[in-house]
Amino acid sequence: QVQLAESGGGLVQAGGSLRLACAASGDTFRRYSLGWFRQVPGKEREFVAASKGNGGNTYYADSVKGRFTVSRDNAKNSVYLQMNSLQPEDTAVYYCAAGQRLIVTTLGRPSAYDYWGQGTQVTVSS
């Protein structure tokens, strides 16, 4: 069992940066793949980035490559999402998620993850 809690959302102007954090408690953290997703009202939850368990390889949606960076600190049971060059279209509720035994082709699927945080709002003004 894993509990996740996001923090770091807020309001930022276009071109600015934010760093989201997700703190985990419970099971052995390093085994879990950790994903960041985002969702706007009326749309499906969208994959943003992921750090695969037992190695930490990172993967990104095309829309955020070169702007966002996912990192994890297994000693602190935390995963981070550094977001630079933010644009109004990045406005969403951002969620972190954790799952075990994910393979690369499933990292982008919300249904592959077992545990979710409550989400944190990111708003980018133009």
Q: How many CB atoms are located within 10 Å of the residue 123 CB?
A: 15
55-93 burial code (b ≥16 CB/10 A, e <16): eeebbbbeebeeebbbebebeebbbbbebeebeeebbbb
Q: What is the model's pLDDT at position 4?
A: 95
Distance CA(69)–CA(48), nearest Å, equals: 10
Q: What is the model's pLDDT at position 98?
A: 95
Q: What is the model's pLDDT at position 55?
A: 79
Task: Fill in the DSSP letter of residue 114.
Answer: S
Q: What is the model's pLDDT at position 94?
A: 98
87-126 tens-digit pLDDT: 999 999 999 999 998 888 899 999 999 999 999 999 999 9
Q: What is the model's pLDDT at position 43?
A: 96
Distance CA(123)–CA(99), nearest Å, equals: 27
16-73 tens-digit pLDDT: 999 999 999 877 788 899 999 999 999 999 999 999 988 789 999 999 999 999 999 9
Q: What is the model's pLDDT at position 26?
A: 75
3-class DSSP assignment, residue 99: strand
Q: What is the model's pLDDT at position 79?
A: 95
